[in-house]
Structure 1
């Protein structure tokens, strides 16, 4: 019966609504007279019936004019009830006027009683229909609990009630005084009672809807939720909502910041603003994970020009399109110039810097994936070392004021070529800073960034969705982690501090065991780890062994005596540097070995250089291995490639 009614054409549903309203309005007028005159079987006179009929007709006309019958009852909202109030008030006034015109007996209290009864019946019938129609749909929805009873939580609950996928059944609050209260008919339960509440209300999913200014210990919160074996997800941040990049009901997996459980980084925006506002800025590797986030943050500080330098055509296209949208929506007025090019081409780099009068360079372009660089040693050195050198020389020639290198914790006592190449790039800039004074070179070193290309979090998430297993290289491997926005904010801050070849180190917080991160993700996605103790679990964690060049733990400092700066999350390292003449001699030897494809000599040069490079395995360059040459093999079967690899 209900389905038959719901499938009726729209005009038939409207006619039924009109007929229903006519009936209840006539009944409301009769009830008003009967209550006022205290006559259970009151019958109207001819004049009173005429007044009632005309009042009902006028009221229906007012409802039509106000659009009440265009409202879909299933999604009836506050505006529809205001329309009913306006219509009922107009109907009561009509009853008074018509009673006067027809000289009918209409006591003064009757229009008031009629208005109240009419509102109750007109709105009540619609509420009843909405409840009957929505009840089966609510049963089909997934039962969710909203963690956070603030403005964000209320907006989320309202959006979900109108949707078809999730049905909110309770709020979880961090304010003890709100425990056992209700919001919009939903119970509010203190977070300390989350376990009992989830079981009692048969909650199938938890949604984090924390206000931006809430002082919630996220690490402690996630620890409480982790044991429930219920999926935990979150809603977009307020910045994404304001920028229009997401809606409040765009449910997604936990943010990386939530997984880390750390407070957001605070920077001195005024210092960064004065450093970038009105300047011409160039970012290399602008389409990469770090480079693109640098661009997003730099553009909001309103430089006059932002040059996007990138080797990948698609990456450049993607970041340019995004930045142009930001530029237009926020009215920033920044000139954007997407430039294709390689950092290894010095003349191209110099021409670009001179063409746009660049004053600040953020050098984020690098090959950073450890195993891939181990398998492609020559290209890794060319891009990371010689690319940095060519960009720096181009910056000197173009009169650039500041040059900031994005470095890595893998440059400290490296066990892989990628780390050795980044440490050598640091030595190149330190040597150049002794040679020139006009261009200020600064290096910023930090650890792994979550959410970047090659990050473990997206990899683990995909493996969990595919049913596992999750692959972790070693049970004891630990890493320092920072989110991309955190890292880039501190890079911008550190870039304002450098004066002459300093190496700044970012405070990465406490190191994280990778296997613990994997297990936390399993639990927070509502699953259980499969193990010998729990063979019926969902996802297994498998240890695959350390990859070429990988070590169990990373360091941020070579020495043990860092110097503090004005920012509590930024330190300045005290580390050994080389005169430019010695650096130049080393990179010339590396260049010659690279041109001969002589990886034996190349490996020896890297080990003997003051880089602290101690590889934990043999050379694993794929081309080198395919030609039958191994470390320790001194046969003449060497790849005969000649000339510069570029």
Structure 2
């Protein structure tokens, strides 16, 4: 599907997870469940499966519990939200958690665009709570799973993930030279076949006789298999020294149209288009959805540094000050408390690094160019965010 060779798994950093108590938030998701499987193979003392969805938690618990049979590894399912501070505090304390792998997030761009308050509450406030409680409970290592959509975001989901990165980096900076978790962020693109990704959608559309829908002929994305992505996440987390934004080498971006055609051909069918009017499956272009880009990026400025692993790099990017992070969080939490979508969008976007110019462009853009997403906030909201930044400086 991706037109490249696969990654051969070999985790040198398994010792970071061996004989440790590891909590995986969002354990029932595509990334979380694979994290659970690969961490289990590292020989932890205990795995805490923390998940909001009862159905997803039941499924991943059944899978991991069976795989752990015959070992001394405890598998503990915990049903709860990362926004529940008391639940987080109790779970970290009671189980003496040493490693946190934070994969819990609302990630579907169109859904978060339509539900910005829920997306920002879960992603940003949930990360803040998990970060702060991890510090308080003596966690050794904290790995945040991020997304390429956090780079110069033009949607609420991307802005929320960038804010999460900044919160984790801020905690790492405040704890520098003191005992506390080693924080790191791992940023990567799409996971092939994950929940909500295009591959299951294309397979479903082909099975129903089409059409196969593609947003735009030029749209492209970075892809990895879930096994590859999680392997590199664990390796990056084990090599972290504190505050790094690790970027995975995902190969060349793949055009979504190319992926759609491969799905059709792999099903033994042909695409019906101008060159083949008698083909089996029609390819239909439906336009970009709210908050979507044509291409995604993995770094804000294109600068990255090599690490000891050929497929893992560190992004060289600016971040916000402690004062700016605190002010941004206060403003966002106030907007969430007031159920003020407009202000929540504006604050989320105007505090994330690399997004100020996008917001300014959105204000001058023709109607519909960007869509009603977070960057197109009212000038008054942008002015208030800028005023708070000046007060911090």
Q: TM-score, normalised by structure 2?
A: 0.89
1:513 maps to 2:255: yes
User: Matched residues in 1 for 2:342 and 2:120: separation?
Assistant: 14
1:463 maps to 2:205: yes
Partner-residue secondary structure (3-state), 1:372: helix
User: Matched residues in 2 for 1:457 and 1:368: separation?
Assistant: 16
Contact 1:286 1:365 in 2 (8 A): yes
Q: 1:531 to 1:267 in 2, by over 3 A?
A: closer
**Cα drift, residue 372 of structure 1:** 0.5
Contact 1:434 1:579 in 2 (8 A): no
User: Matched residues in 1 for 2:251 and 2:300: separation?
Assistant: 18
Moved over 6 A (4+): none
Contact 1:414 1:611 in 2 (8 A): no
The one of 134, 159, 170 equivalent to 1:395 is: 134
The one of 216, 223, 232 equivalent to 1:474 is: 216
Residue-pair matches, total: 365
The one of 74, 77, 100 equivalent to 1:361 is: 100
**Cα drift, residue 633 of structure 1:** 11
User: Matched residues in 1 for 2:342 and 2:114: separation?
Assistant: 14
Contact 1:618 1:631 in 2 (8 A): no
Contact 2:159 2:352 in 1 (8 A): no
Q: 1:579 to 1:544 in 2, by over 3 A?
A: same
Partner-residue secondary structure (3-state), 2:131: helix
Bigger relative contact order (CA 8 A; separation at least 6) = 2
Q: Deviations over 1:75-118 (max 9, x none)?
A: xxxxxxxxxxxxxxxxxxxxxxxxxxxxxxxxxxxxxxxxxxxx
Unmatched segments (≥5 aa) in structure 1: 1-258, 622-629, 635-646
Q: Tell me the C-alpha RMSD between the 2 structures.
A: 1.7
User: Matched residues in 2 for 1:633 and 1:586: separation?
Assistant: 17
**Cα drift, residue 528 of structure 1:** 1.1
User: Matched residues in 2 for 1:565 and 1:631: separation?
Assistant: 39
**Cα drift, residue 379 of structure 1:** 0.6
Computing the radius of gyration from Cα coordinates, the structure with the larger value is: 1
User: Matched residues in 2 for 1:460 and 1:618: separation?
Assistant: 25
**Cα drift, residue 584 of structure 1:** 1.1
2:366 paired residue number: none
**Cα drift, residue 606 of structure 1:** 3.2
Partner-residue secondary structure (3-state), 1:407: strand
Q: Deviations over 1:450-495 (max 9, x none)?
A: 1110111111011001000000000000000001000000000000
User: Matched residues in 2 for 1:345 and 1:469: separation?
Assistant: 43
1:340 paired residue number: 79
2:345 paired residue number: 603
1:435 paired residue number: 174
1:499 paired residue number: 241
**Cα drift, residue 354 of structure 1:** 1.0
Unmatched segments (≥5 aa) in structure 2: 363-368, 381-393
User: Matched residues in 2 for 1:562 and 1:509: separation?
Assistant: 15
Partner-residue secondary structure (3-state), 1:260: coil
2:23 paired residue number: 282
Greater mean alpha carbon deviation, residues 532-541 or residues 500-509 = 532-541
User: Matched residues in 2 for 1:446 and 1:608: separation?
Assistant: 23
Q: Deviations over 1:231-281 (max 9, x none)?
A: xxxxxxxxxxxxxxxxxxxxxxxxxxxx12332323442x32211111100
1:323 paired residue number: 64
The one of 116, 119, 142 equivalent to 1:380 is: 119
User: Matched residues in 2 for 1:292 and 1:405: separation?
Assistant: 15
The one of 303, 316, 327 equivalent to 1:585 is: 327
Q: Deviations over 1:545-568 (max 9, x none)?
A: 000000000000112221100000
After superposition, residues 6-85 of structure 1 pair within 5 angstroms as none
User: Matched residues in 2 for 1:359 and 1:303: separation?
Assistant: 10
